[in-house]
A and B are shown apart, each in its own frame.
Chain A
C-alpha cells in the first residue's frame, strides 16, 4: 500500500496552491465583503483545466481522476473555500453534461463549459424539499417542441450569475423515477431569479432562487433519458461531496497554519502562547484531525475512481467526517487567535463562516448518516 502522491499528483496540488495564492488569496477578503467574484479569475482557472477536471480529454476536459480533483479543490480552498466550492459545482455540471448529455447537448455547451465561457449551476433544492430532494415539485410538461417548465428552485449557487442551469424537474410520476434533468439557458423567457440571499458565509458567490414560469425549452435540452434525472443528480453528488469535503480541508489547513504561526508570535503571561500545554494539545489535535481527514478523503476518492461497491457510502462518510472535523479545526484556529480571530482582517472568521455550510449542503451531515446507516444495515441483512 502506497500512500504517497505521485509526481503528477504533487504537481497538480502545487499548481492549485500556487494559482490560488496568486489569483485568489490576495482578493478573498475583498470578494467576501463585496459579495462578488470576477469571471476573469474563473476563466483563468479554466485555462489551467480546472473547470472540467474529470471530463474526459476527448470531450475537452482534463481527464483526471476524482482523487486528483480533491487535490485541486483542497489546494484552491487554501486561498478561499468559497471560490473552490463554486468551481466544484461547475465541475459537477460539466461532468454531468459529458457523461449523460446527448451529442447535441454536448455540442451546444461542453466546449464552453470547459473554458468557462459558460458557467453552470446545479438546481435540485426547492423551498419545500431540501434533504428530501426526490420530493421536488418543479414540473416539466412535454410540449410539441420540448418542455414547459414551472416551479422554483431555492439556494441555487450562482443563480443570476451563471449562464446554464441544470434543473431537476418532474416529467413523470411522483417517484424519483419521474424526475428528469434539463438544461436551461440564462436569458430565456420565463426564467428569473429571486433576490440574492444574505448569508453567513460563501459570500463571494451568489445564492438565490431560480424561478421558472412557463419556461419553454426544446427537446434537445433534456439530459440523457427522461426519468433518469434523479439518478444523474445523485451520481453528480458522490463526487461533489468529495469536492466539498476537500474544500473544507483546504480552508481548515489554511486556518491551522495561521494559528500555528500566530501561537509563536503572540505573547501572554510573559511567553509566547505556544508554550502553554493547553495550546500545544490543541495544535496537536488540529493536526491529527487534518491528517486523518485527508487520508480518509483520498481513500474515499480512490473508491469512487475504482467504482468499489461501497463508493457512495465512502463518499458520504468522507463528507460527514471531513466537513465536521474541519469546521472544528477552523473554530479552534479562531480560538487560538483570541479576540483577533473574531476580527475580519485576520481572515480566520471568514473561514469559520465559509466552512459552516459544508456541513449543510450537498446533503446535510444528518443525511450522510442516513446514507451510511442505510447501507450498513442493508449489508447486514443481505
Chain B
C-alpha cells in the first residue's frame, strides 16, 4: 500500500502571531515557519504503519509557496520516501486544496490518505472531509487510534463526549488528532538522506484545478485583549456570576 500525506507549511506554533496593519492577514515576513504540527503526527503515523509492514511507500504532498519544499524535506528527513510539490500561494482555500489532492490521488493511487485534522494557521478543519467527498472514499476524522486490517480501518475518534470507535472501509481518508502519537525527531543520517530523495513538481493548472479564491476575506483582527480578573467574595457570588454574567452554567 502507498500512503499519501499532505503537509502544510504554516507559522511555527511558538511564534506570537501578529496581524498586518492593513488587516489583510497575519504577518508572515521574517516569521519562523514549520510543518503544521498535525501533519507531523500524520507523517509519524504513516512511518509507523510502514515500519510495521503495513505500507511500502510514503509520499508527501505540499501545496503552497516555493518554501513548501522545505516542509516536504522535513518530512522526508523523518523518513518519508518522496515528495510532490504543487506551486500555489499561501492562502489556497480548503476546497481547492482538496481538488488538487484528489488529482494527486488519481495519479498516485494510494490506499490511504493521512491528513492533519486541521492546519494551525487557518484552523479550517475541512480539507480531509472535502477530499473524502470528492473521492467518494470513507473518512475517519480526529483519529487518536488507527488500526488497519485488510479492507477495513478501525479508527478511534476523539469526539466531545469521549471516544468513538468506528470501522470504515479502505481506501479512506483519515485526519489525525493531537494524541495519536508523538512525532519523532529526524536523525542526522536521515536529514542527510532527505537531500537525495526526489521531490516532483506538479502544476495546478496542468491538474485542471482552479485555485482562485471563492471566499472574500473581509478583515483579520487581533482578539480582544484579556480583561483583568476580579476576586469574588463567596461561592454564592461565583455561581451567580457564572450563571448570569458568563452564562456558562
Contacts and interface: CB of A to CB of B under 8 A. Distances in A.
A12 interface: yes
Contacts of B187: 47-49, 62
B185 A18 contact: yes
Nearest to A48: B187
A11 B189 contact: no
B191 A8 contact: yes
Given A7-B70, A7-B73, A48-B185, A15 B192 contact: no
A18 B77 CA distance: 15
A176 B73 CA distance: 48
Contacts of B185: 15, 18-19, 48
A157 B55 CA distance: 45
A64 B188 contact: yes
Nearest to A53: B188
A92 to B, nearest CB: 17
A355 interface: no
Contacts of A53: 188
B141 interface: no
Contacts of A50: 188
A233 B194 CA distance: 34
B195 A62 contact: no
A57 interface: yes
B45 interface: no
Interface in B180-210: 185-192, 194-195
A8 B189 contact: no
Contacts of B192: 8, 62-64
A49 B77 contact: no
A63 B186 CA distance: 15
B141 to A, nearest CB: 28
B209 to A, nearest CB: 28
B7 to A, nearest CB: 15
Contacts of A19: 185
Which secondary structure characterizes the binding site on chain B? helix
A14 B66 CA distance: 20
Contact of A57 (B70, B77, B186, B189): B189
B191 A63 contact: no
A12 B74 CA distance: 11
Nearest to B32: A14
Contacts of B70: 7
A35 to B, nearest CB: 27
A228 to B, nearest CB: 29
A63 B190 CA distance: 11
B117 to A, nearest CB: 22
Contacts of A62: 187-189, 192
A54 to B, nearest CB: 10
Interface in A27-83: 47-50, 53, 57, 62-64, 68, 72
Nearest to A49: B188
Band of interface residues on A: 10 to 19
Interface in B59-81: 70, 73-74, 77
A47 B195 CA distance: 20
A12 B188 contact: yes
Nearest to B67: A7
B74 A49 contact: no
Contacts of B189: 49, 57, 62-63
B51 to A, nearest CB: 14
User: Which of B73, B190, B192, B195 has the most chain A CB atoms closer than 10 A to its own CB?
Assistant: B192
A62 B191 CA distance: 10
A15 B186 contact: yes
User: Which of A49, A50, A57 has the most chain B CB atoms closer than 10 A to its own CB?
Assistant: A49
A63 B189 CA distance: 8
A340 to B, nearest CB: 24
B109 to A, nearest CB: 30
A100 to B, nearest CB: 22
A236 to B, nearest CB: 20
A244 to B, nearest CB: 20
Contacts of A12: 188, 191
Nearest to A62: B188
Contacts of B73: 7, 11
Contacts of B186: 11, 15, 48
A53 B191 CA distance: 12
A71 to B, nearest CB: 10
A286 B194 CA distance: 36
B68 to A, nearest CB: 13
Contacts of A11: 73-74, 77, 186, 191, 194
Contacts of B194: 8, 11
Nearest to A72: B188
Contacts of A7: 70, 73, 195
User: Which of A15, A18, A63, A64 has the most chain B CB atoms closer than 10 A to its own CB?
Assistant: A15
Interface in A70-122: 72
User: Which of A11, A48, A49, A50 has the most chain B CB atoms closer than 10 A to its own CB?
Assistant: A11
A12 B188 CA distance: 7
A272 B77 CA distance: 43
A64 B186 CA distance: 14
A248 B187 CA distance: 23
A16 to B, nearest CB: 9
The 3 tightest CB contacts between A and B, nearest first, are A49-B188, A62-B188, A48-B187
6 contacts: A7-B70, A12-B188, A15-B186, A47-B187, A62-B187, A62-B188
Interface of B: 70, 73-74, 77, 185-192, 194-195
Given A7-B73, A15-B186, 7 more contacts: A8-B191, A8-B192, A15-B191, A47-B187, A49-B188, A63-B192, A64-B192
